[in-house]
Amino acid sequence: MYEPAWKFPTTALEAAEILREAAGRATPIAGGTDLTARLRSGDERPEVLVDLAGIEEFGGVDLTPDPDAVGQMTMGALNTHGALARDDLVRQHVPLLAEACATVGSPQIRSRGTVGGNVANASPAADAAVALLALDAAVRVVSADDCEGDRAGLPLEGFFTGPGETVLRDDELIADISFDCPAESARSLYLKAGQRKALAIAIVSVAALYEPEAGLVRIALGSVAPTAVRARDAENLFESEWPAGDCEAVIDAVAARAVGSASCIDDVRASGRYRRILIETLTRSALRRLCLDLEEDG
């Protein structure tokens, strides 16, 4: 009989201390949409379950104004996908994140699953994480030794080390995730090719952001490699070529280049070959819409 002990901390410090004491025998739980499946299958059987729901400081979405820029947005790890998809600040400043959150699972899953869990789970198909990657987000991590979170600002790029694997230590918790808000003129979107429209796990997803004044794009890809990845080469190509005489040709070339950042595999959802086609197609479609305002792309 599996009988985990439950802890219900109300502060980050308390939670972090529980994790330190347990020395690897405890697992934090928030929405539990993925963890319950692993508990049930027996893939994971921690001795202690640390429910984070009572930690208020892990909630909320804030925008810290900056006189020279839009500011920095910080979202507590406990924000659910549903909450972020509905959040006015998120929808206004980072539509790609709102859109990504809105495609997670189903309304039921979205009202449980949290953004912190999405990042911590490190699924290559994690929707919110792909959008956050395109936003150059950073993860603030707290532990008992470092409750203020001096390991703040761990860049999300590099945070993921493999499917389900991150740099997070057993005694660490994700407190919040933050990023510099894109300029007011920036445009962004999230495109996802799934096997159906609801309850879908991405075959390929593309989060893209275009900053017209800076003349650059940021592109992150999901379900195309062991972790969510940035298409850096493609971004660089864009920066060096844009705007050129033939904008559509630049976009075509950038989309083709994005494929190089992927290492696609065949699985039950699609072949690697089809994934590579989708990367190019979705990236092209995203950039045509963002940079050329061509809404007629599907």
Point out which residues bind other proteins (CB under 8 A). Answer: 1-6, 8, 29, 32-33, 36-37, 39-40, 49, 51, 53, 82, 105-109, 111-112, 193, 195-199, 201, 268-271, 274, 277-278, 281-282, 285, 294, 296-298
Contact of 138 with 154, CB cutoff 8 Å:
yes
Report cis status (omega within 30 of 0) of the bond before 243. yes
Min separation Cβ 159 and other proteins, Å: 25
Rounded Cα distance, 168 and 153, in Å: 13
| Nearer residue to other proteins within complex by CB, 250 or 282 | 282
53-79: burial string, b at 16+ Cβ within 10 Å, e else: bebeebbebebeeeeeebeebbbbbbb
**At 152, phi and psi to the nearest 5?**
-70, 160
Q: What is the phi/psi pair of residue 24, to 5°?
A: 90, -5
State the nearest-atom distance from the C-beta of 44 to other proteins, in Å: 11
Q: How far is the CB of 248 from other proteins (least distance, A)?
A: 11
Provide the phi-psi class of 122: left if phi over 0, else alpha when psi is between -120 and 50, else beta: left
Which residue from 161, 167, 84 is spatially nearest to 128, judged by alpha carbons? Answer: 84
Token output for 78: 């406990």
User: Which of 144, 173 has the CB closer to other proteins?
Assistant: 173
Closer of 154 and 282 to other proteins (Cβ): 282
Closer Cβ to other proteins, 64 or 271, answer by number? 271
Rank residues 199 and 244 by Cβ distance to other proteins and give the closer one. 199
Q: Which is nearer to other proteins, 156 or 259 (CB)?
A: 259
